[in-house]
Amino acid sequence: MDIALTIFPSFSDKTLPLGLACMKTVLDREQCDVAVFDFDYQLSVEDRDLYYAIHDLALHSRYGSFPDMINFIGASPEIMFPVLFDRSELDSLLLSDAEMRLNLEKIDSFLDRAVSVMLAESPNQIWVSSYISNIWISLLAAKKIRLRSSASLVFGGPAVYTRDVHLFLLFNRFADAIIVGEGELSAKEFLRSDDGHVDGVAYLDGDHYHYIPRKELLRADEFPMPDFKNFPFKGQGIREYLKRRFEGIPVSFSRGCVNSCIYCSEKEFWKCFRYLSVEQAVGRLRFYMESYGISSFYICDSLVNFSHAWLSDFCERIITEDLQPLFTFAFCDLTHLTPDLLEKMSKAGFSRIAFGLESASPRVLECMNKTIDLNHAQSNLLAAAKNGLPVHVSTIVNFPGEEIVDVLDSIRFFREIDEILTRDGVPTAHFPQRSLGNSFRLEPSTDLYMNPWKYGIIIEPINAPWRAYGFYTEAITKQWRVPNHKFDRAWHRYIVSSFSNKKGPWRLHDSQYRKQAESLRAIVDDDTFCFMVAEHVVLQQNLADGVILLKDHDMEFVLDAIQSDMMHLLSSGSTLKELSRALQFYDQATFQLMKSFLLYLYVRGILCIQGFKAENQTS
């Protein structure tokens, strides 16, 4: 095999790795012998607890000893650096943390198996897709690969964009080459080059670091059509992803961002904003629906409403052509929206919208370089709720220079929304969900990091023993501070978090769950898909009448006699055909009603797909 194209946990348990699929298209065009190894998917179905433990460690570790550490590595430095460089300090640390010790042992065992599976195919090169959430696991895997193979290691992705990370990966031999930023053109030239010394690729020439940024970028009409064949592994298909939480095929209609928020790296990573025409975007949706039989899509663009006119035309085209897709997720900003457009988005199939408001303090928004009219933003959130469009709003707390009055501004903004919706009789279930306690993390590749002097920030080294481990570790162990500004970080976060209302899963309205269920109908085979009640679901039987009370997180459902019989049969797993025979549902209309009900429970997370039975086992 020429190239193993891989991604390690944890990335996303909702959809497929879009970047990996784009690169696969490029490598296939170059006639490379390529195999995909989606180990993120594998761990998410093998051991969900460990998967989320990895995710939580990457998400929350900066709140510990070094809350102001620059977010290069996505994990606790006290743990990651000793693990990578075999230092004895780790053993003493883990003596007091049995849970962490057990998780690291499980991670080590999983990576041993993953590396063995990949190396069994004898790849000449191993290309690793890296994000902040999985870079530390990817480095652990690279260390194991080095001990067992001479294959070249090539890293790419947002986590390896900066020079600091290049130096750390290259000089410590975690990587032989790094494809920086938008990777398709650099990858093609890298493959065609005799020595891999091309623009857009960082590498070592002897002991000398070399990197020349690529100036040429893809035009929008050159964006590769992502190829999801043989995902998550060779010989498999998209249906495998239904074994876990599945919110549709990932799609992207643009690259870059029209905004210039100083805390975000999207603009720097993609360099310039480019987008598909409405015709091209709709054509991609139609292609996926015809190729995979799925009409659920997870939009990965920085903002789907980069242009009010474009999004309006896009929705109009979908409605006119009666495509009936379901968009289970999309990022929007609150500027390029109107109540009329929100209504049109709802009709076109948008079912979840995420808004990054970040603050409702005019002073903080100005510091962030976010141009938001808060009255306009509030009107859009009210319109979304009244249109029955589920939305989620997030804010950042502890942004550099934040004062307690800024926190109170954000709380006041959302209290006004709640009061208006309550007065207008909108059900509380339709209120915008909000996560207000997301602590600020200074990310590499942002204007804040690259030009800290412009914003009154000082970036300085962290004085810790693990800075001396390996080579150039000091390059990725830095922290930030604002001179002469002190604020009670924990108090700010406590105040604003107490006003969040995001508890449990992000709920859709019932009609949207049913539409999401129908979008999967074509891909769910009646004979082979084996459904089972999810582990978190509690089934409580009423002895008086035999019906079942189903408890799903904070919600309860009373099931009728037939539904209760279904739950009993599904407690040990069953295909649709097996279930219909057991319940004696022989006419097609009743069978289809049963299938709709089970798919509805699946998209709600009440049922899961345990696996697939061979057709000869179900006959």
330 and 265 within one domain? yes
Q: Taking 50 as the threshold, does the pLDDT of residue 192 lie above it?
A: yes
112 and 25 within one domain? yes
pLDDT at 619: 39
pLDDT at 255: 97
Q: Taking 80 as the threshold, does the pLDDT of residue 89 lie above it?
A: no
Please indicate whether residue 267 or residue 65 has the higher confidence score (pLDDT). 267
388 and 269 within one domain? yes
Mean predicted lDDT score pLDDT of the chain: 90
Q: Is residue 548 part of a domain?
A: yes
CA distances from 225 to 222, 272, 313 (A): 9, 20, 22
Q: Taking 90 as the threshold, does the pLDDT of residue 552 lie above it?
A: no
Q: Is residue 393 part of a domain?
A: yes
Distance CA 389, CA 20 (A): 31
Distance CA 149, CA 135 (A): 20
pTM comes to 0.93
Question: pLDDT class for 87, splitting at 50, 70, 90?
Answer: low
Residue 474: what are its φ and ψ, rounded to 5°?
-65, -20
Q: Is residue 240 part of a domain?
A: no
pLDDT per position as a tens digit, 26-63: 999 999 999 999 999 999 999 989 998 887 776 544 43
Q: Is residue 514 part of a domain?
A: no
265 and 391 within one domain? yes
Tell me the HSE value of 92 on the side-chain side, using a 13 A CA sphere: 4
Instruction: Please give the structure tokens belonging to residue 383.
Output: 């319109």
Q: Is residue 69 part of a domain?
A: yes
Q: Taking 60 as the threshold, does the pLDDT of residue 7 lie above it?
A: yes
Q: Is residue 543 part of a domain?
A: yes
Residue identified by tokens 């989620």 is 392
Q: Taking 70 as the threshold, does the pLDDT of residue 124 lie above it?
A: yes
382 and 490 within one domain? yes
Instruction: Please give the structure tokens belonging to residue 530.
Output: 């084996």
DSSP readout, 574-586? Answer: EEHHHHHHHHT--
Decide if 454 contacts 62 (C-beta within 8 A). no
Decide if 334 contacts 320 (C-beta within 8 A). no
Q: Taking 70 as the threshold, does the pLDDT of residue 94 lie above it?
A: no
Decide if 303 contacts 333 (C-beta within 8 A). yes
Other C-beta atoms closer than 10 Å to the C-beta of 555 total 12
pLDDT at 156: 97
Question: pLDDT class for 545, splitting at 50, 70, 90?
Answer: low
Question: pLDDT class for 503, splitting at 50, 70, 90?
Answer: low
Residue 530: what are its φ and ψ, rounded to 5°?
-105, 110
pLDDT per position as a tens digit, 396-412: 998 998 999 999 999 99
Question: pLDDT class for 618, splitting at 50, 70, 90?
Answer: very low
Distance CA 391, CA 431 (A): 8
Bridge partner residues of 2 (DSSP): none
66 dihedral zone (left: phi>0; alpha: psi -120 to 50; beta): beta
279 and 391 within one domain? yes
Instruction: Please give the structure tokens belonging to residue 59.
Output: 């998400």
pLDDT at 453: 92
531 and 492 within one domain? no
Decide if 434 contacts 451 (C-beta within 8 A). no
Residue 117: what are its φ and ψ, rounded to 5°?
-60, -45
Instruction: Please give the structure tokens belonging to residue 427.
Output: 């059900």
pLDDT at 616: 44
Domain count within the chain: 3
Instruction: Please give the structure tokens belonging to residue 382.
Output: 């009210």
588 and 445 within one domain? no
Q: Is residue 233 part of a domain?
A: no
CATH of residue 583: 3.90.930.70
Distance CA 609, CA 366 (A): 47
Q: Is residue 175 part of a domain?
A: yes
Say what percent of the chain tops pLDDT 90: 66
Of 274-278, 451-455, 514-518, where does the model show the most confidence? 274-278
Distance CA 334, CA 131 (A): 27
Please indicate whether residue 549 or residue 111 has the higher confidence score (pLDDT). 111
Domain boundary among 216, 232, 267: 216
CA distances from 602 to 295, 455, 503, 556 (A): 16, 48, 20, 16
Q: Taking 60 as the threshold, does the pLDDT of residue 615 lie above it?
A: no
Over residues 422-449, the mean pLDDT reads 89
Q: CB-based contacts of 149: which residues, under 8 Å, 6+ apart?
A: 119, 126
Over residues 117-139, the mean pLDDT reads 96
Comparing C-alpha atoms, which of 228, 46, 17, 20 is closest to residue 127?
A: 20
304 and 392 within one domain? yes
Q: Taking 90 as the threshold, does the pLDDT of residue 509 lie above it?
A: no
530 and 496 within one domain? no
338 and 195 within one domain? no
Question: pLDDT class for 502, splitting at 50, 70, 90?
Answer: low
3-state secondary structure of 460: strand
CATH of residue 355: 3.80.30.20
Q: Taking 90 as the threshold, does the pLDDT of residue 154 lie above it?
A: yes
pLDDT at 442: 92
Distance CA 176, CA 196 (A): 10
Distance CA 256, CA 258 (A): 7
Residue 432 DSSP class: P
Domain with 436 in it: 245-463+473-501
Rg (CA), the chain: 25
Using a 10 angstrom Cβ sphere, with 0-12 exposed, 13-18 middle and 19 or more buried, the burial of residue 453 is exposed
Residue 219: what are its φ and ψ, rounded to 5°?
-75, 160
pLDDT at 533: 92
583 and 532 within one domain? yes
Comparing C-alpha atoms, which of 166, 189, 162 is closest to residue 178?
A: 166
Decide if 607 contacts 533 (C-beta within 8 A). yes
Other C-beta atoms closer than 10 Å to the C-beta of 416 total 13
Distance CA 94, CA 79 (A): 9
Least confident of 267-276, 305-314, 553-562: 553-562
Bridge partner residues of 552 (DSSP): 555
Please indicate whether residue 86 or residue 454 has the higher confidence score (pLDDT). 454
Using a 10 angstrom Cβ sphere, with 0-12 exposed, 13-18 middle and 19 or more buried, the burial of residue 308 is middle
